[in-house]
Amino acid sequence: MEQLTAASVRLQQTADLFQHGAEKINDLFLRFPPDMITTHTVGPDGTYPDLEAAWLAIKDVPIFGKLVLKVLPDHPDIDKRVVIGPHAYASNLSIEGEPGNPSAVRLTILDSAGDPPSRRLANGIEVSGMVGMRLNGIKFVGSGAGSNAVGLSIFDGSYILSDEGTVEFEGVNLGVFAKGGVWDTKGVKSVGCDSVVYAEDGGVVLMNDSDLTGNGPDAGAGLRANGSGHIDAGNTRFAQFRIAAIAAAGGTVDAIHHQAEDCWMGMCAKGGTVTCGGDGAGSAKAVRCQFGYYGEEAGQMRAEGVTAENCRQAAYATGNSSLKMNNTRIIENNTALVPNYASTAYFFEAIYYAFIETGGTTYQHQRSSSYRTRATANGYIV
């Protein structure tokens, strides 16, 4: 009987503990409901003077509801790397300027000491281990041509979300560097940047419907996926880059329905895989490029249904690369617009065991028809 009584007491004590715990949890939800929003301003006259100070204040504190770090237009320049993360409550944190007008909050990243690109990751904002953090309404600004600044670095399992059209880049050497982290957004804009995105070693950037302008056909790649890096950039416009997008050393780029204008090279598969096809009627095209589509180092490209308009060469493949370019549309309506125009340049050229498929291609051009295709040194065109 005494044993039964003791067991009954322990059972009642356990029930009391559960009841007490439930009351505490309920009290937390009452005091910190999931939809509660707390806003701290970040700038000289804000709650915190800068982003680094804001992070130091919250890095060890649980975040209940939603915490917004509101970046003010007068946020001081960033002259070193500001590291944010990790945080167990990252999904409750949002860093934002003016989501409806990113240009209103220009977050200036100063050049770091040393020559680019070796020192470029010594500045900007780095997020690490931040799963579900939001970033909206900010334009990352550098010093323009010759800058070695990087805007945003995403590392170590971070998953950063940005609403469509709320993040922009201007005058930086590199907009986003993703290594082992993910940036999920749409509608990115860039002006005067050497490169916009570099993804490697598990880095993933989803950025369809973007509009990217570089620093001219002698500087940088708009997008670069390296190793196991991946970039989604469908329906994206590229202009004024040395290379619009490149997949290197196993990286992958998906850029269907793209438009590459005034670049030295449009799409490039250099040991990686590029998917960039179109509808055969102009939804995917390279315009006024030295090379519209290029493959080397066993790169693979699926570019069926693209248009090459006023390009010196529509496609060039070398070094065991393979380009699927069936149903390409060749348009040459003004040789004055063709970079380094030569009447003896071939629209399709394959050398050194490279392979190009050109079935269903149509030609509207001013060169002799004998200069449509050339395969030499064990290159192959069908």
pLDDT tens by residue, 63-89: 989 999 999 999 999 988 999 999 999
pLDDT over 80 (residue 26):
no
The 10 Å Cβ neighbour count of residue 50 is 17
pLDDT at position 1 is 54
- Residue 336 makes CB contacts below 8 A (sequence gap 6+) with none
| DSSP β-bridge partners for residue 269 | 247, 295
pLDDT at position 99 is 93
DSSP string, 34-95: TT-EEEEEESTTSSBSSHHHHHHHHTTS---SEEEEEE-TTPPPB-SEEEE---TTGGGEEE
DSSP string, 338-356: STT--TT--SEEEETT-EE
| Residue 265 confidence class, pLDDT cut points 50, 70, 90 | very high
pLDDT at position 147 is 87
pLDDT at position 355 is 98
Q: Are 116 and 138 in contact (CB under 8 A)?
A: no
Half-sphere exposure of 336 (CA within 13 A, CB side): 0
Q: Are 188 and 212 in contact (CB under 8 A)?
A: yes
E-strand spans in 271-347?
273-275, 285-287, 291-296, 300-302, 307-309, 313-317, 322-324, 329-331
pLDDT at position 352 is 97
pLDDT at position 240 is 97
Residue 345 phi, psi dihedral angles, 5° rounding: -80, 140
pLDDT over 50 (residue 25):
no
- Residue 77 makes CB contacts below 8 A (sequence gap 6+) with 108, 109, 110
Range of weakest confidence among 5-14, 113-122, 136-145:
5-14
pLDDT tens by residue, 294-343: 999 999 999 999 999 999 999 999 999 999 999 999 999 999 999 999 99
Q: Angle CA(14)–CA(15)–CA(19) in degrees, nearest 5?
A: 120
pLDDT over 50 (residue 243):
yes
pLDDT tens by residue, 200-231: 999 999 999 999 999 998 889 999 999 999 99
d(CA 143, CA 134): 26
pLDDT at position 60 is 95
Per the prediction, the chain carries an average pLDDT of 91
| Residue 11 confidence class, pLDDT cut points 50, 70, 90 | low
Q: Are 369 and 362 in contact (CB under 8 A)?
A: no
pLDDT at position 80 is 87
Q: Which tokens in the block code for residue 178?
A: 């993703």
pTM exceeds 0.85 for this model? yes
| Residue 122 confidence class, pLDDT cut points 50, 70, 90 | confident
d(CA 143, CA 158): 27
Range of weakest confidence among 29-43, 126-140, 349-363:
29-43
pLDDT tens by residue, 282-295: 999 999 999 999 99
pLDDT over 70 (residue 18):
no
pLDDT at position 36 is 87
pLDDT tens by residue, 372-381: 999 999 999 9
pLDDT over 80 (residue 29):
no
pLDDT tens by residue, 169-198: 999 999 999 999 999 999 999 999 999 999
| Residue 30 confidence class, pLDDT cut points 50, 70, 90 | very low
How do 93-96 and 66-71 pair as beta strands?
A: parallel
Section 97-101 average pLDDT: 94
Which is nearest to 316 in space by CA: 302, 288, 296, 331? 296
Cis peptide before 339 (omega within 30 of 0): no
Which is nearest to 217 in space by CA: 196, 244, 199? 244
Looking at residue 101, its amino acid is: N
